[in-house]
Amino acid sequence: MWDELIPSDPYLRTTHLIYLCLGAFITLFGLVSLIIKERLFMSEAMVAILIGVLVGPVVGKVVDPSTLFGSSLHSVSLEFSRIIIGIQCMACGVDLPGNYVFREWISIAILLGPVMISMWLISALGVYVIFGLGVWDCLIIAACMTPTDPVLANSIVKGKFAEMHIPLNVRLILSAESGANDGLGTPFLFLAVYLLRHPNEPAYAVGQWTYKVLIYQVLLAVLIGTVVAYLAQIALKTAVRREFIDKESILSFSIALALFIEGLGSLIGTDDILASFVAGNVLTWFQEVIDALLNLTFFVFVGATAPWSSFNAAEHGLEIWKLLLFALWMLTLRRVPIVLALQRWIPALKNQREAFFAGWFGPIGAGAIFYAHLAVVYLEYPEEKILPIVYFIVVSSVLVHGGSVALFNLSLTRTQTSVYTNWESMRQQPENGVESGMQLHQAASLEFRQSVDKEGSSIIDVLVNAPATMKAAL
């Protein structure tokens, strides 16, 4: 009788254990999340990775992803990270004021141009000096770790501590950069790959890279993100005005659109991550509950799937002291010097103190994992060369960047009200009051935070009233 109620299939039992452990963690974390993030100054990614290690094959042996997914593990990791990055890049675009990218185009151009190229080359130099790999191998591995991560950046630039101690201009530029440069990791990775495949024909390699990557992948991604988001915005406005849409569909709209853009971009071979960020700049509001749930799940997955045993694999030239030295190299030299040097040409950073903060907090996370598995799955790059290095740097970044934000106080204490007031003042007001749903996003965000601060208030009330708020805004 019990065999009929409790499945004996080990695959099903493992799956049910995952449900149990993941649900228990997210539930318990949610109950004390404010204490963990605002008092202990630990990021959600840091806690999630720790849980992943505890339930993974290294410690608790509750779940072994390599056994569960087998040879498909790299593909699962690739697609899981693709979903997370696409949603977070759209969130970064949505969270920015409507005209922010145009107002701060010089700062963004410097960060996506000279700063990003410098991070790529400095990272490659570190791989070359410490691990002794070939030049093209160094550039491929470094390309994975060049983008800053929107998932970890959000944990730094959002929250009560960030609102009170980190200037709004710094938070906005970090969010904009992390959303944009995650999609721009593709050109760096593919340039190194084309040069590796055609070492004797550099002109041919660069030509292939130019029209296949820069023109087709990047420019087409910008076009797709703009057009799809613009049409979606018109459709959403029409549905709200005519009362065709219910509150549940409103709350899931941005998530669904992010998945649609990712699917479309992946099918036609364009840069779906960049397209998601561009779409976020066209769209106007975002629902944060689902993406927070996905972020926690993803970093638990990272903790469980990280190749811990490969961190000290001497047969592949990897030793723990080399990885620690490389982590120190990346954290100190990859980004801080170039941002400090170019601060005077980055108008969004007002002084050297802000430049040091922005330079220090260039976290490496989901984007690096995505590009590393992209190299393994799509480009058939040897996993033993790239995955241990990338995963070690991701774990180091989560621990160091997630735990060091409390050490920085930029002496600009702000209340929640002043933050949203300043944010609103930076945004160009729509002419007719219905230009964008950013009004909803800001109003709902402020209302949500105020509801949490009020004893006995209900989050459900905020969600229930969201459609009415949206309709009034539109």
> Torsions phi, psi of 242, nearest 5?
-95, 5
Q: How far apart are CA 323 and CA 326, in angstroms?
A: 5
Read off the pLDDT of residues 165-220 as tens digits, 9 standing for 90 and up.
788 888 889 988 988 888 888 899 999 999 988 888 989 999 999 999 999 999 99
Question: pTM of the prediction?
Answer: 0.82
Token representation of residue 95: 């969270």
Comparing CA positions, the residue from 400, 380, 395 lying closest to residue 140 is 380
Residue 431 falls inside a structural domain: no
Owning domain of residue 162: 10-414
Q: What residue type is assigned to position 266 of the chain?
A: S
Residue 470 falls inside a structural domain: no
Residue 249 falls inside a structural domain: yes
Residue 453 falls inside a structural domain: no
**Average model confidence (pLDDT) for the chain?**
80
Q: What residue type is assigned to position 465 of the chain?
A: N
Helix, strand and coil in the chain, % to nearest 5? 80, 0, 20
CB contact set of 420 (below 8 Å; sequence gap of 6+): 442, 445, 446
Token representation of residue 198: 């055609």
Residue 289 falls inside a structural domain: yes
Q: Maximum distance among all alpha carbons in the chain? A: 74
Residue 441 falls inside a structural domain: no
Residue 38 falls inside a structural domain: yes
| Exposure string for 416-435, b = 16+ CB within 10 A, e = fewer | eeebbeebeebbeeeeeeeb
Q: How far apart are CA 81 and CA 77, in angstroms?
A: 6
Helix (H), strand (E) at residue 209: helix 202-209
Half-sphere exposure (CA, 13 Å, Cβ side) for 7?
9
CB contact set of 294 (below 8 Å; sequence gap of 6+): 83, 84, 87
**Are 317 and 117 a contacting pair, CB within 8 Å?**
no
User: Residue 175's domain is classified under what CATH number?
Assistant: 1.20.1530.20
How many domains, in total, are found in the chain?
Answer: 1
Residue 62 falls inside a structural domain: yes
* pLDDT tens for each residue of the chain, 474 residues long: 455 666 666 677 777 788 888 888 888 988 888 888 777 778 788 899 999 999 888 888 888 888 888 888 999 999 999 988 888 888 787 778 777 888 899 999 999 999 999 999 999 999 999 999 999 999 999 999 999 988 787 777 776 667 777 888 888 899 889 888 888 888 999 999 999 888 889 899 999 999 999 999 999 999 998 898 888 888 888 888 888 877 667 667 777 888 898 889 888 888 888 888 888 777 655 555 666 777 888 999 999 999 998 998 888 888 999 999 999 999 999 999 999 999 999 999 999 989 998 999 889 999 999 999 999 998 889 999 899 999 999 999 998 887 776 666 544 444 333 433 444 444 434 333 333 444 444 444 444 344 434 433 333 343 334 444 444 444
- Return the C-alpha torsion angle 255, 259, 264, 270, nearest 10: 100
Read off the pLDDT of residues 52-111 as tens digits, 9 standing for 90 and up.
999 888 888 888 888 888 888 999 999 999 988 888 888 787 778 777 888 899 999 999
